[in-house]
Amino acid sequence: MKTTLKIGSLALVLVSAASLFAQVGKWPTIRPLEEKKVFINPGQNNADTSFAAFIKDSDGVPAYKLECHNGNYENESEMNFSGDFQCALFAVKRTTRTSGNLLASDTKNELSTDWWNRGRMRASQLRGECLKYPEYSTDRRFKLRGMLLTLRFADVKWSPRKDQQGEPMLAGFTFLVKAVPDESAQSSRAELPAGPRPPSACYP
């Protein structure tokens, strides 16, 4: 009887350890990435604000593609990009997408449409009251799949011209991307950020 209990306990420990190892190794370990691009008069004359970068695994093989555009982008895509600037993160195998937009959190609202997630930026989110909520404004951090991805909007400049709503028009910004490994990030999609939710004028 005692022998049976010992064998059963050992088996349970081995199964638990195997499950833990599988969870930790669920996602590929990424190589750190840092890139930036300066945009001047974004969207002027119906132009796109294109940005793309591959996040590679420890062997140097692309594991994810970060792709950004604005509402003027009309090429064929699995996503309808919108706003003044919107980024999406896709898992890839070679150059083929193997997932939808991973920057959308696992909530009903964010999974319901392409534009309801923090990967989408509107100019109004980079000024005024919205600056009190940096995760939805200038410094957006996404924890998922063993990494921390930060999208930052710096050196924001405003035009003296107004938009159709009488608000200042975005004249330029520097877009910075940083991705680093983070073992605590084990969700398959971006985790919701901690802290208070911003008012509806700031999100989505």
Where are the strands (E) in the chain, listed by range?
A: 33-40, 51-56, 62-69, 85-93, 96-97, 120-121, 139-144, 147-162, 168-181
The residue among 177, 170, 198 whose CA lies nearest residue 84 is 170
pTM of this prediction? Answer: 0.87
Per-residue pLDDT of the chain (204 residues; tens, 9 = 90+): 544 444 444 443 333 333 333 444 589 999 999 999 999 999 999 999 999 999 999 999 999 999 999 999 988 777 999 999 999 999 999 889 999 999 999 999 999 999 999 999 999 999 999 999 999 999 999 999 999 999 999 999 999 988 888 889 999 999 999 999 999 999 999 999 999 999 999 999
Q: Classify the C-alpha dihedral 5-11-17-22 as positive or negative.
A: negative
Integer Cα distance of 120 and 71 in angstroms? 10
List 33's β-bridge partners, or say none: 179
